[in-house]
Amino acid sequence: MNAPIMSGAEPWSAAGGANGVLVLHGFTGNPQSMRPLAVALADAGFTVELPLLPGHGTSLEDMVPTRWDDWSGAAEAHFQALAARCDHVAVVGLSMGGALTCWLAERHPHLAGIAVVNPLVKAPDAEFRAGIQGLLDIGTETFDGIGSDIKKEGPVEAAYSGTPLAAVLSLFEGVDEVEAGLAGIHCPVLVLSSRDDHVVEPVSGDVLVAQVAGPVERIWLEDSYHVATLDNDAPLIEAKVVEFMLEVLGGPGGAAS
């Protein structure tokens, strides 16, 4: 049985127009990091779903056994549920949520568009992974946390204090699959990249921009670290993502069915 959901980490949704946006959080994080962006999209009139991905938002122990198939399976299920009640759907994600966003776009050519913030689409090299495997081999299940990489004084990401190592290796395998399929993304893509990111190398954004087949716009975030949705550039991100979604979805649409 999983631990209770942490305060502020709850999934969130809003009923709006007939066009919907799925919002996906990052690895070891939870909806708290994406809530302001989700609210901005809802305020623009969209139907919005911001789910809590498996193993997240409760306790680190709950995340230890989860894998890429769990997170991608949940993203697919929430996408299908949103698409079933909306005319058109777009997706936005942060970090691992960005990888899942691309994964969905590779599988659903009818997606109206995707927006990604510091997406992970280029996993670390074999040497880095071997180091993680070495820790697992001696019985180390978790390592230091990667959350709350925020430049702005004050805001804190409600992420886990540790990183589950087997889960992160599974994440990298999933990201390998995503990278291999980037040329299959034909919808419009908005990429928002922090110049200074201590969690995901900016090369991930470079790879995404270079390989997707659809039209791409990249915006550099000059005053934020990895969790940019809670950082100094959050107002810029919200404005640009809302503007992008209004364009690719043709507005929020009429009443949702």
Given pLDDT bands bounded at 50, 70 and 90, which one contains residue 221? very high
Q: Which pLDDT value is given to residue 69? A: 98
So where are the chain's domains? 12-248
- CA-CA distance, 184 to 170, in Å (whole number)? 22
Alpha carbon of residue 35 to chain centroid: 12
Given pLDDT bands bounded at 50, 70 and 90, which one contains residue 3? confident
Q: Which CATH class is domain 12-248?
A: alpha beta
Per the prediction, the chain carries an average pLDDT of 95
Residue 161 buriedness (CB in 10 A; 0-12 / 13-18 / 19+): exposed
Identity at 131, one-letter amino acid code: G
Catalytic residue set: 95, 197, 226
Count CA atoms closer than 13 A to 176's CA, side-chain side: 10
The values of phi and psi at residue 94, to 5°, are -110, 130
- CA-CA distance, 137 to 76, in Å (whole number)? 32
Average pLDDT over residues 174-178: 97
Report how far apart, in Å, the C-alpha atoms of 231 and of each of 33, 150, 156, 163 are: 10, 6, 9, 22
Which helix (H) or strand (E) element contains residue 41?
Answer: helix 35-43
Query: Which DSSP string do the residues of 102-151 spell out, in sequence order?
Result: HHHHHH-TT---EEEES---S---HHHHHHHHHHHHTT--EEE-------
pLDDT tens sequence across 5-17 = 999 999 999 999 9
Report whether pLDDT(133) > 60: yes
Instruction: Find the Cα–Cα–Cα–Cα dihedral 21, 212, 93, 252, rounded to 10°.
Output: -20
Percent of the chain exceeding pLDDT 70 equals 98
Average pLDDT over residues 206-227: 97
User: Partners of 179 in the beta sheet?
Assistant: none
pLDDT tens sequence across 55-79 = 999 999 999 999 999 999 999 999 9
pLDDT tens sequence across 67-113 = 999 999 999 999 999 999 999 999 999 999 999 999 999 999 999 99
Given pLDDT bands bounded at 50, 70 and 90, which one contains residue 146? confident
Report whether pLDDT(256) > 70: no
